[in-house]
Amino acid sequence: MRSAPTILHLDMDAFYASAEQAAKPSLRGKAVVVGGLGPRGVVATASYEARLFGVHSAMPMGQARRLAPNAAYLVPRFGLYREISEQVMGLLRELSPLVEPLSLDEAFVDLEAGGVADDEASARAVGERLRADIKAVTALTGSVGLAVSKMLAKIASEQAKPDGLVLIAPGTERALLGPMPVRTLPGVGPATGDHLRRAGITTVEEIAEAGEDELVRLLGKAHGVSLYAMALAHDERPVVAERDTKSVSVEDTYDVDIHDRVRVRAEVARLADRCVRRLRAAGHSGRTIVLKVRRFDFSTLTRSETLRGPTDDPGVVREAAARLLESVDTTGGVRLLGVGVTGLADYTQEDLFAQAAEAAAEPAGEAAEPVVGEAVIGPETEPAEAPETPVERRWAAGHDVRHAEYGHGWVQGSGLGRVTVRFETPQSPPGRVRTFRTDDPKLEPAEPLPLVGGE
């Protein structure tokens, strides 16, 4: 391991919720919960104000509402989060060519490889400057950990939350790790933690005291050897620059199972278009179209079709997804649908019309996802074409709108043919609330405004 704390771990603070608070002045300092709002929804992120009530990520949304009934509950705006993430990752890449993103809001950086730090003082100065730059560019805060290894840098950033910086000085690692619970170490989940607890091991120090042979006996060679090394603060994993994306996909879970075949087709077409937008935004095209269907009984099926060449044509992807759907029996109801593209490339084969026609004449390929209890699929007997029904305008809580008279705002809620909008921007004071018909022609969906600058 290196001798200076030049591995940096950045973790944005309550990222989705903080972005929503920055965008919506009326929510600053208040409990905000972001996630799926239906009965099957789960919490993606909770603001620190909401966490005081016990709300946390991955919690069922119904439980969150019982704990914090007066919080603001919002549907995620992933387009905005990705834009902010790109700004943050750009700042990290200015520091080093070795940036390893773990998610939209989290990454490792090798400062030594960038030549910007070689000791404690310079590493701390870089970390503080990074935090200031992130605040200036995004209006959000991030917590920074600095250490000689990835494991320790991540532990340090957890200790720094929220909006702080912690540097673990070389030589102090064992003393710091010793009293921490075993779950602190990477790879120790609930099952491994319970297994160690039954053996009388509850802290990192007790892992080190148990010895490598005992850990191998308890957990197997690979896991036991790795865990013992980490308990001694040994972590040789390098920071690896981000890997190429292997697939692009989107999916939606529905609050109520969809039984109407026409609605299922419409949802698949909508998901295909969303998938292509994300594909194009990433500068990719792909050869294999994948359809995912989770049915009423939780059985999950995937169907795939490989084209002759890569495409980013929405019509081709829609048609392929529709053909794949024809091989799936959805009469019992559908709770989740997804469309994805794999086999990515950085170029597009222009003439795909003939290939699409060829594929339509051939049976769709399939790759059943290995899910316990999957039912056998029978032939689909419904006609391929059915008249389309108008899709009702949906106003998702938290999403942006623009009114011809009142300007930019966001949806506070909707139902019974009405939509309530609060008109404010990231730079305005808390705004006024007005209610409209859901079909009001003066009200339209809008793109998010920048958190810094803009209107």
Contacts of 220 (CB under 8 A, 6+ apart): none
Q: Tell which residue, 112, 233, 126, has the closest CA to residue 169.
A: 233
Which residues are tagged catalytic? 106
Amino acid 355: pLDDT: 40
DSSP readout, 368-399?
----TTPPPPPPP-S-S-----PPPP---TT-
Pairwise CA distance, residues 264 & 94, whole Å: 45
> Listing from the earlier edge strand, what are the strands of the sheet with 32-35?
43-46, 32-35, 72-74
How far is the CA of 2 from the CAs of 148, 358, 438, in angstroms? 6, 57, 60
Each residue of 209-265: pLDDT tens digit? Answer: 999 999 999 888 888 898 999 999 999 999 998 666 678 899 888 878 899 999 999
Judged against a pLDDT cut of 80, whether residue 433 lies above it is answered with: yes
Burial class (CB in 10 A: 0-12, 13-18, 19+), 452: middle
pLDDT at 358: 40
What is the full DSSP assignment across 256-279?
EEE--HHHHHHHHHHHHHHHHHHH
Please give the span between the terminal C-alpha atoms of the chain, in angstroms, as a whole number: 48
Distance CA 314, CA 277 (A): 8
How far is it, in rounded angstroms, from Cα 356 to Cα 273? 17
Answer for the pair 351, 309: CB distance below 8 angstroms, yes or no.
no
One-letter identity of residue 96: S
pLDDT at 362: 40
pLDDT 10s digits, 56-87: 988 999 999 999 999 999 999 988 999 999 99
pLDDT surpassing 50 at residue 340: yes
Q: For residue 369, name the pLDDT band (cuts at 50, 70, 90).
A: very low
CA distances from 158 to 106, 138, 184, 376 (A): 11, 21, 10, 47
- Average pLDDT of 80-97? 94
Evaluate if residue 110 carries a pLDDT over 90. yes
Q: Where are the beta strands (DSSP E) in 52-94?
A: 72-74
pLDDT at 186: 84
Whether 97 has a pLDDT exceeding 70, the answer reads: yes
Helix (H), strand (E) at residue 337: strand 334-345
Q: Is the pLDDT of residue 432 over 90?
A: yes
* Number of Cβ within a 10 Å radius of residue 281: 11
Residue 58 forms beta bridges with which residues?
none
């998702």: which residue's tokens?
396
Instruction: Give the pTM.
Output: 0.72
The contacts of residue 413 (CB under 8 Å, 6+ apart) are: 397, 419, 420
Helices then strands, counting H and E runs in the chain, come out as: 15, 17
How much is the pLDDT for 365? 36
What is the signed CA dihedral for 223, 224, 226, 229, rounded to 10 degrees? 170
pLDDT at 126: 97
Task: Round the average pLDDT of the chain to a whole number and report it.
Answer: 86
> What is the spatial distance between Cα 126 and Cα 248, in angstroms, rounded to a whole number?
34
> What pLDDT does 390 receive?
46
Per-residue confidence (pLDDT) for residue 244, from 0 to 100: 62
pLDDT one-digit tens code per residue, 342-365: 887 755 444 333 344 443 444 333
Distances, alpha carbon 48 to alpha carbons 17, 56, 67, 74, in Å: 9, 9, 14, 15
Distances, alpha carbon 240 to alpha carbons 158, 196, 223, in Å: 21, 31, 22
**Residues of the chain above pLDDT 90, percent:** 67
Which comes out higher in pLDDT, residue 246 or 398? 398
Q: Which amino acid is at 373?
A: G
Across-strand partners of 405? none
112 vs 310, residue with greater confidence: 112
What is the model's pLDDT at position 453?
76
pLDDT reported for residue 352: 39
Q: What is the pLDDT of residue 451?
A: 95
Q: What mean pLDDT do residues 381-403 have?
A: 64
Residue 107, pLDDT score: 95
